[in-house]
Every structure is written in structure tokens, then in C-alpha cells.
Amino acid sequence: SQQGEEDPQALSIQEGENATMNCSYKTSINNLQWYRQNSGRGLVHLILIRSNEREKHSGRLRVTLDTSKKSSSLLITASRAADTASYFCATAKGSNYKLTFGKGTLLTVNP
Amino acid sequence: NAGVTQTPKFQVLKTGQSMTLQCAQDMNHNSMYWYRQDPGMGLRLIYYSASEGTTDKGEVPNGYNVSRLNKREFSLRLESAAPSQTSVYFCASSGTDRTKLSNQPQHFGDGTRLSIL
């Protein structure tokens, strides 16, 4: 069963705008990870946030985690056409290092 | 660095045929995984290998078998292919630090696109 669920399923914005994607999950987690998948390619790890962290930054990416609401958000600032991809959240539970992936958000950045 | 290499990239099979998907990683990772990705379903874990010599079932193991040949290689076998196994298959690996397995990202290959007629 899917642990993480992304919202929205699809998002279309103009270059330069910010993109926000949300992820909700059902059970307690050890960490939450975000991945990007370009069309026809494998997933690429973007950022990992541990359950005791509330916010993390990496370049133009900002991830927040609210364990009380069991939710996370990924913000991409000043988006570029090259950011067009599907974005997945994945959760890891306890000492179990297996990941459970959501269904993804398809982001389209129009030039 | 090659990272995670999957072969073949594309394959068409007839129902009932068998096939082995190959995966190799050159990052000295301990853990390896096989996922399938179907439209609207995200990624689902088929089997995983926490370390060399061990394998375990994931969410959707029926119809598949795996072999962790050595630390680098993890293969996925379809003994009798069915149309429901038409999918994109991804191999991934993670973990060089055994004490931090739960906080390490996974690295993915570019997938094998498998069609079963």
C-alpha cells in the first residue's frame, strides 16, 4: 500500500515561479525523502529530512516536515524549464530502510 | 561513475516466456532493490536484498524471483511472464554505512521497459 500521497497530481507553472508540492503519509516515519524523475529516466534523490528535523534546504529546494500532521512539502524556488519532471516523496519507517513511494506530482515548467 | 546499470533497457516477451533482468552497482552499496512502476501507481517494491546473501519479499513479489549474486549484482527473474507484468522495472541500491541504513538515499538505474504480449 502507498504510504506517501503527493498533492497535487499535476502542476503547471511559468518559468521563474515557485512550485510547491505536498506529501501526506499515514504512520510514523524515520525519515522522508524526495526524488525527481525525468521522463524515461530513473529516480534521482533530491533531499532527505529526518523525523526530528522541521526544515531543510538544498540550493533552490526547501523541504518542510510536520510530523504532527504527517505531512511534508517541497518548494522549488525560481523554477526553470529543466525542473520539468515527476516528483515523488518516499518514507522510511523505524529501522526499516525500505522506502515506500507515493504516486508522484508531475511538474511542468513552461518557458 | 556508472552508478546502477540495468540490462536490457527494453524487452518484449510472449506470455509464458521466462526472462532475467540484470542489475549491477559500482558504489559498494550493501542493499539493493527491485521496483516496478506502473502508470498512476508510483513505485512498488518487488524484492530487496539488505546485504549480500540475503533477500526478502517486498510489496508485490508474486511471479518473481531474485538472486543476489554478489555484492555488486542483483537479478530479477520472471519464470513465466504474464501480461500483468508489463511494466517499467527499476533497480536501486543504497547504504555503505551499516549503522545508518535507514537514513541513506537510494540510487536508481534508468529502468527496463518490459512488454508482455
Blockwise average pLDDT, block size 10, chain A, 111 residues: 75 97 92 94 95 95 96 97 96 76 94 91
Of A97, A100, A104, the CB nearest to B102: A97
- Test B42 with A50 for CB contact under 8 angstroms: no
Confidence (pLDDT) at B39 = 85
Does B50 have pLDDT greater than 90? Answer: no
Q: Count the Cβ atoms, other than its own, within 10 Å of residue B110.
A: 18
Chain B partners of A103 at a C-beta cutoff of 8 Å? 40-42
What percentage of chain B reaches a pLDDT higher than 70?
93
Confidence at B42, pLDDT banded by 50, 70, 90: confident
Does B99 have pLDDT greater than 80? Answer: no
Region B69-82: mean pLDDT is: 96
Phi-psi sector, B40: left (phi>0), alpha (psi -120 to 50), beta: left
In the sheet with A61-66, reading across from the earlier edge strand, the strands are: A5-7, A19-24, A71-76, A61-66, A55-58
Give the tens place of pLDDT for each residue, A8-36. 999 999 999 999 999 999 988 889 999 99
Does B74 have pLDDT greater than 80? Answer: yes
Displacement of CA B8 from its chain's centroid (Å): 12
With CA atoms as reference, the chain A residue closest to B51 would be A97
Region B57-85: mean pLDDT is: 95
Q: Which residue has the higher pLDDT, B104 or A15?
A: A15
Confidence (pLDDT) at A95 = 59
* Strand residue runs (E) in chain A: 5-7, 10-14, 19-24, 31-37, 43-50, 55-58, 61-66, 71-76, 85-92, 99-101, 105-110
Chain B partners of A41 at a C-beta cutoff of 8 Å? 110-111
Confidence (pLDDT) at A94 = 64
- Test B42 with A2 for CB contact under 8 angstroms: yes
Mutation to test the B interface, candidates A6, A51, A99, most B Cβ within 10 Å: A99
Region B19-28: mean pLDDT is: 96
What percentage of chain B reaches a pLDDT higher than 90?
76
- Test A101 with B90 for CB contact under 8 angstroms: no
Whether B43 and chain A come into contact, CB under 8 Å, resolves to: yes
Confidence (pLDDT) at A1 = 46
Strands A5-7 and A19-24: antiparallel
- Test A43 with B90 for CB contact under 8 angstroms: yes
